[in-house]
Amino acid sequence: MNAVGAVLWLIGALLDLVLLVLIINMVLSWLFAFDLVGRGNRFVSSAYEATQRLVNPILAPIRRVIPPVGGLDFSPMVVFFGVLFLKQLFPGL
């Protein structure tokens, strides 16, 4: 594997990691929103806080452009589909 291939693999792996953390964050937020899990659950709260710290820097610029509408935050979906678009645009990733 040459250097360019290694860099492309690393970028692809990072994009996959972003997707995974984003999905975990969205599912955990839904668990809290629909009261399926209480905020008192330490494990779930810790996991949610950790994923929030990871995804907030990515979501913050999009939230400035697309604010929540009716209490719904569309920024995670924009990032999710943006990452999928990048992976389709550059198949080597």
Sign of the dihedral through C-alpha 45, 48, 53, 56? negative
Token pair recorded at residue 36: 């399926």
pLDDT digits (tens, 9 = 90+) for 12-54: 999 999 999 999 999 999 999 899 999 899 999 999 999 999 9
Cross-strand pairs, 72: 69
Which stretch of DSSP H or E encloses residue 64? helix 42-65
Flag whether pLDDT at 92 surpasses 80. no
pLDDT in the model for residue 90? 84
Amino acid at 61: P
